[in-house]
Structure 1
Amino acid sequence: MLENKPVEKVDIMSYAGKWYSLYSIPTFMDKHWVETTETYVIHPDGYYAVFTTYKLPAEEETKYVRSKLIVVRGTSNAQLKAQFVWPLKVDYWVIELAEDYSYVVVGHPKHKHLSIMSRKPVLPETLLEEILGRCEEKGYDISKLVSQEHKATVQKGEIHSS
């Protein structure tokens, strides 16, 4: 079994930018969202300003929310706190990160949440299966993962639904 822990280091500048949420164990807030993207912008005060876009099933309108992602000092930027509503903060651990920052897996110390995100709207099937296997080995219930299927950008031959 693999240990559920943050990666050794995250480069703040490389992590910034747009991410496509591909699969997640949803939270109370996002359990009906699809086609979700998150864009991280470094704020002058040292946190990420997060702009999340999403759709609700059977609706074409894109909706959005703003939030903050705050680095926990002394964690090499791999442990953060997500803040959607002040003063509540949720643990956000970077538990897997591609060397080239092409994909990331965000977890939780108590396995409550899991999110697989990529710089592109899809991941190759073999890579996704490898990621899912490691998540399961870290103690996550991958049967709870929900697809964030990016319908307008799905490419033939790549996993796009659960």
Structure 2
Amino acid sequence: MAVVIATYAPLHENVAAAAPQPVAGPAPVDSLDLNRYLGTWYQLAAVPQFFNLECARDTRADYTMDPEGNVAVYNSCTTWSGGRSEIRGTAKVNDRVTNAQFHVSFPTVPGQSQVDGPTNYIVTALGPDYSWALVTDPSRLSGFVLARGSALDIPDWDRVRAAITAAGQTPCMYLTSPVTGGQTDMTLLCLR
């Protein structure tokens, strides 16, 4: 029996090494000061998603602390018809080491009403002065470039594009988002 185990163990290790390994999700920033992260963020670019297709311009997120110690989320935008679209939700910190991974839920969206759940919002890059942030999810299918103001300067856009690449995405996945006082059209971020 010892011979079988000795023969089996190396064979098992080789099979495991040859098997495809799951790709690790994007890494969060080392540390997120949640109090500094609260406030208003303007969406300057995003990977198009079904829920933001109605947004023509001025997409923003407002984050405040709620009485339970979670982040109250208020997302809004101006629609193509000139109306207002808005949704409220909750972001619960799932990673107390970095404070940069959350489960975001929206009670009015079927399947997204549970406050507790797996991480679906990761802050993967952040300007040192909290002037911009890059957010994605473990699958890298979503992405948002957020900023405190309506525009970023060229060096910050270069940092954002580098952060997108470091997170395992490509800037060509992102469309710029029109914001009053900033970008006025939708363009692939890799062409900007």
TM-score (norm 1): 0.85
Contact 1:111–1:139 under 8 Å retained in 2: yes
Taking the TM superposition and a 5 Å limit, the aligned residue runs for 1:136-151 are: 136-150=165-179
Return the alpha-carbon distance in structure 2 between the equivalents of residues 73 and 131 of structure 1.
Answer: 23
Choose between structure 1 and 2: higher helix proportion.
2
Return the alpha-carbon distance in structure 2 between the equivalents of residues 131 and 73 of structure 1.
Answer: 23
Letter in 2 for 1:100: D
Taking the TM superposition and a 5 Å limit, the aligned residue runs for 1:8-23 are: 8-23=30-45
Return the alpha-carbon distance in structure 1 between the equivalents of residues 135 and 95 of structure 2.
Answer: 18
* 2:140 paired with 1:111: yes
Q: How many residues align?
A: 155
Query: Deviation at 1:137?
Result: 3.6
CA distance 1:22–1:83, change in 2 (3 Å): same
TM-score (norm 2): 0.73
CA distance 1:28–1:128, change in 2 (3 Å): same
Q: Which has the larger radius of gyration?
A: 2
State the Cα deviation string for residues 90-123 of structure 1 (Å, max 9, x = none).
Answer: 6100100112111111012221111100000111
Return the alpha-carbon distance in structure 1 between the equivalents of residues 122 and 159 of structure 2.
Answer: 19
Partner SS, residue 139 of structure 1 = coil
Choose between structure 1 and 2: higher strand proportion.
1
Return the alpha-carbon distance in structure 2 between the equivalents of residues 45 and 70 of structure 1.
Answer: 10
Tell which deviates more after alignment, 96-105 or 22-31.
22-31
* 2:147 paired with 1:124: no
Partner of 1:87: 114
Indicate the RMSD between aligned Cα atoms, in angstroms: 2.1
Partner SS, residue 66 of structure 1 = strand
Gaps of 5+ in 1: none
Return the alpha-carbon distance in structure 2 between the equivalents of residues 73 and 93 of structure 1.
Answer: 10
Partner SS, residue 29 of structure 1 = helix
Contact 2:125–2:163 under 8 Å retained in 1: no
Q: Relative CO higher for 1 or 2, CA cutoff 8 Å, sep ≥ 6?
A: 1
Query: Deviation at 1:71?
Result: 0.5
Query: Deviation at 1:4?
Result: 2.6
Return the alpha-carbon distance in structure 2 between the equivalents of residues 26 and 66 of structure 1.
Answer: 20
Runs of 4+ aligned structure 1 residues displaced above 3 Å come to 158-161
State the Cα deviation string for residues 38-91 of structure 1 (Å, max 9, x = none).
Answer: 00010120111111111222x222221111111014332111111123138561
